[in-house]
Structure 1
Amino acid sequence: MLRIIFFAIVCLLIFERCAQQVTPTGGKKDSIPPTLVESSPLNKTLNFKGKKVELFFDEYVVVDNINQKLIITPEADNPYSYKQNGMSVALTFKNPFKDSTTFTLNFGDAIKDFAEKNPAKNLKLVFSTGSSLDSGRVYGTLKDVRTNKPIFDALVGLYNVTDTLNITKQKPYYFSRTDSSGVFSIENIQMRSYKMIAIDDKNRNMLYNAKDERMGFISKPINAGTDSVAYNIEMFLSDNTPLKIQRTLPKVNNYSVVFSKAIEKVQVTFMNKDTLPYLLEAGTNLKFFNVEPHPDSTLVKLTATDSLGKATDFEQKIAFQPQRGKERQRDPMTFTTQPEPNKPLDHEFTYKLILSKPISKIDDQKITLITDSLTHEPLSAFKSSWNANHNILTIQAKSFAKDSIKWDIPKGSIISVEGDTLPKTFLKHPVLKEEDYGLIKGRVTNADTSTRLIVQLVDEQYKLIETSYVTNYTFRHIPQGKYYLRVIVDRNRNQRWDTGEMDKDLQPEPIFYMPDKILLKANFELNDINITLPK
């Protein structure tokens, strides 16, 4: 009897397993996107007065993040809900559409097939609430002015031409987003004049955030439907927000003034006889050091200049926290170098020692340059200079080493304004071997002799490698690798690239790239690598 029962249980398990549904194997993967077979209203319908739009497809579909991906132009400010039902998607709008206007609904990749999630291609619906369709069109490309790379998913907007345009508060009337090649196209728009502006629009609110979003613009109003040219917009960062003191950080040893954005330089004027050492950290943090004796508080005037060259004045009271206990706890003194430790050095080189505190005393007899562990030369034998804040020492040095160059910095040879020092430090660098590096040489052609140019070599990540301020350039001791060559038109002759400002109708300084990437091999010279500027 037990055997019969056991046999019956086994059979039931086998039959149950056989009855389970499993996904069939084999066969071709569905790679065909869903096709729109009908819509309500029909594409290019005139005199549409409804509040519901419905799309019908040839297969089952799903909706993917439609609130972010559906672009409706002109900007309707008309909330909607959607319903997906098998092979159809319906959108119900809260209000009727504006009268006598052509609307375009561009769905992007918001609707996909159910099985393989293939997005419907070029899914767009156009209709008019008036008796005709608007036929204006503008198109073009976006790229980053610093890298020359196309910008994906940026917003290109057409704004009404007014004297009070504020893109931090006003949304564009028509807009589109760029594809992966940086290409945009805005169609079925009214044929009239617009202001064309592009923004990153990272949070997709269609408003410009100057602190962390790039922007670009066409200086003159564009005429939709009459201009046949492609518009090429170069985007750039331009933080034009007012400079403010964001907060202060009082401590026993120091007092920091933190600005709301990075500043290029700051001038400090002490309003009484007291003075304090200070330095600018990380571009935003102005730190004053508590060096006795000094009053309980010190009043200073600050003139801070931001990256746009705008200077702003502040008055600030510097007041340190009172000391508790007998011993003052200091932040340790740290440093960095340029070049970095272990980077090869040529026989003649410029060296920077960058310290975290202003320095009150340095013993240039004890600090020595050691050549191949045999020759010791004191720092005093070389030309050196301090920056204005006395925390960066620049050294012009020379060595005849064959293998290695070392800096020997004994403990106590560098004393900060707080009275502390570095521990005994060795900085070692191999001697640069010519055969491990290459040379790139050329000139800029077609250049206006009255224009100041800057030639730059950058790597594949657009990190700056070398700079030349003459048009016949030579870049020596370049590591093997791939590089780009670019030319900056230095309009204001300040030997740096300057960004643009839309409020002043000022475009960024132009940057021209050599179209082809440069491949440099070790122990190799590339001559006549010339850049021809457009006329």
Structure 2
Amino acid sequence: MIKTIAFAVICLILFGKCAQQVSPTGGKKDSLAPNLVESVPLNKTLNFKGKKIELFFDEYVVVDNINQKLIITPEADNPYSYKQNGMSVALTFKNQFQDSTTYTLSFGDAIKDFAEKNPAKNLKLVFSTGSSLDSGRVYGTLKDIKSNKPILDVLVGLYNVSDTLNITKQKPFYFSRTDSSGIFSIENVQIKNYQLVAIDDKNRNMLYNAKDERIGFIDKPINAGSDSVSYSMTMFLSDNTPLKIQRTIPKVNNYSVVFSKSVETVGVTFMNKDTLPYLLENGSSLKFFNVQPHPDSTLVKLTATDSLGKTTEFEQKIAFQAQRGKERVKDPFSTSTIPEQSKPLTNDFTYQFTLNKPVHFIDDKNINLITDSLTHEPLSAFEYSWNKYHNVLTIAGKSFAKDSIKWDIPKGSIISVEGDTLPKMLVKHAVLNEEDFGQIKGAVLNADTSTHFIVELVDEQFKVVESLYSTPYTFRHIPQGKYHLRLILDVNRNKRWDTGNFEDAKQPEPIYYLPDKILVKSNFELNDVNISVPK
């Protein structure tokens, strides 16, 4: 009896394994997507009152992350469960669908064949709970304004027109997501006016997070007619969150005030007779330096302006940590240069030293520019200037070197507000060989005298190589490679690109690209590389 039971158990295990579904091990690979052969309800059904939707395919299928990939418009707020059963998938909804409404279920690649995971293509089901189907359509393309590249998987939404629209708290009524070409299409919508907005929606909550999500929008309400035009939209980052002091970092030598986002400018007003040197680091950290003598704490008023031009005032108490040892340990005094050390430098140059502390003293007669190891010219012979924080030194000059240019900076010639000095430095650069570089000449077309613009040459990673502000223009000393040319309309004439703001219905300053990349070769000049202001 025991042997009989054991034999039966073994048979069950063996036959159970044989009954498991497995992918075929041989034969021609299945490259065909599953086809929808029937649905309940049928596509474009009218007066549908059910809660269950079922799809039937011509082969075995599997469901892949359907909760993320299935898009139901208009947004139903109707939870559902799903069941996969061989060649069919059934969705059961908790509530009835809203009456007299056309619904579109777009499945994306949520349903795939069992064997090779080929997704069903263009799988969509449309039905109406009323007596007719809505025929409105909104479609178009979406690109990133900085790179001019299409953006994949962006949420493009239609919102009911309202003076109190808040996209940080309100979800769109109809929506779609862009494909890899940045194309979107929202179909079977009610024919009326909507606000058209696109957001990154990184966390897929269908709400706008201004801190780190791009946005694009059409200024005025659009009409979702059956023959509506195609909309071309650009997306941009616009952090309109209120500027705050995120944290403070008190130390013995310095005190940092860290803002919640980058600021364009910051003004400091000392509320008593005491003053302290300070500088802005990385665009968001204001550092005060502990220079004796001063009181235990110093009250300051900060006036900070962010990238959207919004100004916020703060009062802040600056209080350094108490010194414990006899000797104060200072942060090392250091500098960086533009161009970087060892990078080639033209004889006609603009040079920049950036120091990590404000400078108290510079000996411009003891700092020398050495050309070809023969000619020594003191810094005092050149035009130079400091920034407002006295830590960035810009030098304009000309040399007649043939091989090398060196800055000789003796120890003690640059002293910081903390009283320490740079060590002896010799900053070397080879003289730029004109034959190793290319040149681009062109003009801005269709621009009248009232148009202010910025012509930018950017590399393939969209890093700005050089910016010019007049026409005709010449980009000199360009390393061999491929580049983009773009034109920024400088509406407010501040010589930089300014972003937009949805709350104020303000679009970013327009950016236009030359359609094709520019190939720059060594010792070669490109002429008539023109870019036009669209009419």
TM-score, L = length of structure 1 = 0.94
Q: Deviation of residue 41 (structure 1)? A: 1.3
Asked if 1 retains the 8 angstrom alpha-carbon contact of 2:23 and 2:115, the reply is no
Q: Which residue of 2 aligns with 1:368?
A: 368
What is the aligned partner in structure 2 of residue 467 from structure 1?
467
Name the CA distance, whole Å, in 1 between partners of 2:376 and 2:447: 48
1:84-119 deviation per Cα after TM superposition (whole angstroms, max 9, x unaligned): 121111111121111111111100011111111111
Tell me whether 1:110 sits opposite 2:110 in the alignment.
yes
Give the Å deviation of 1:426: 1.9
> What is the identity, as a one-letter code, of the residue corresponding to 1:252?
V
CA contact (8 A) 1:454 1:471 kept: no
| Cα pair 1:296 1:319 within 8 Å, conserved | yes
Per the alignment, in what secondary structure is the counterpart of residue 100 of structure 2?
coil
Match runs of 1:8-27 below 5 Å = 27=27
Q: Structure 2: any 5+ residue segments left out of the alignment?
A: 1-17
Seen in structure 2, the aligned counterparts of structure 1 residues 23 and 389 have a Cα distance that, compared at 3 Å, is closer
Partner of 2:134: 134
Q: What is the match of residue 272 of structure 1?
A: 272
Contact 1:498 1:508 in 2 (8 A): yes
2:24·2:115 contact (CA, 8 Å) conserved in 1?
no
Q: How many residues align?
A: 516
Deviation at 1:454, TM superposition (A): 1.3
Partner of 2:445: 445
In the TM superposition, residue 182 of structure 1 has moved relative to its aligned partner by 0.4
For 2:26 and 2:448, how far apart are their aligned partners in 1?
Answer: 66
- Per the TM alignment, residue 227 of structure 1 is displaced from its structure 2 partner at its CA by 5.3
1:297 alignment partner in structure 2: 297
Output aligned runs, 1:311-350, within 5 Å: 311-350=311-350
Partner in structure 2 of residue 435 of structure 1 = 435
User: What is aligned with 2:416?
Assistant: 416
1 CA distance for matches of 2:69 and 2:102? 20
Cα distance, 1:195 vs. partner? 0.3
Equivalent-residue separation in structure 2 for 1:158 and 1:337 (angstroms): 50
Q: Is the 8 A contact 1:52 1:92 kept in 2?
A: yes
Stretches (4+) displaced over 4 A:
21-26
Letter in 2 for 1:147: S
> Could you tell me which amino acid in structure 1 is paired with residue 155 of structure 2?
L
Q: Distance in 1 between matches of 2:34 and 2:409?
A: 71
Deviation at 1:376, TM superposition (A): 2.0
Pairing 1:208-219 to 2, within 5 Å after superposition: 208-219=208-219
* Deviation (angstroms), 1:411: 2.1
Deviation of 1:23 (Å): 8.1
Deviations 1:204-237 (A, max 9, x none): 1100000111101101100101553101111111
Per the TM alignment, residue 502 of structure 1 is displaced from its structure 2 partner at its CA by 1.6
Q: Which residue of 2 aligns with 1:514?
A: 514
Q: Which residue of 1 aligns with 2:390?
A: 390
CA distance in 1 between counterparts of 2:329 and 2:111 reads 62
Q: Which runs of 5+ in 1 are unaligned?
A: 1-18
CA distance in structure 2 between the partners assigned to 1:436 and 1:424 by the alignment: 32
**C-alpha deviation, 1:375, in angstroms:** 2.0
2:286 equivalent in structure 1: 286
Deviation at 1:24, TM superposition (A): 6.9
Paired residue secondary structure (1:68)? helix
Instruction: Tell me the CA shift for residue 83 of structure 1.
Output: 1.6
Deviations 1:29-72, CA, capped at 9 Å, x for gaps: 11101111111111111111111111111111111111111101
In the alignment, what sits opposite 2:43? Answer: 43
The structural deviation recorded for 1:250 is 0.9
Residues in 2 aligned to 1:155 and 1:421: alpha-carbon distance in whole angstroms: 54
Which one-letter code corresponds to 1:412 in the other structure? Answer: G
Q: Relative to structure 2, which stretch is displaced further, 41-50 or 311-320?
A: 41-50
Who is 1:493 aligned against? Answer: 493
Aligned pairs for 1:36-185 (under 5 A) are: 36-185=36-185
Shift of 1:493: 1.2
Equivalent position of 2:229 in the other structure:
229
2: CA distance between counterparts of 1:176 and 1:89?
Answer: 22
- Give the Å deviation of 1:332: 1.4
Equivalent residue, structure 1, for 2:30? 30
Shift of 1:341: 1.3
SS of corresponding position for 1:462: coil
Is 1:523 matched up with 2:534?
no
Q: 1:453, 1:471 within 8 Å by CA — same for their partners in 2?
A: no
Q: SS state of the match for residue 112, structure 2?
A: strand
Q: What is the distance in 2 between the residues matched to 1:116 and 1:24?
A: 9
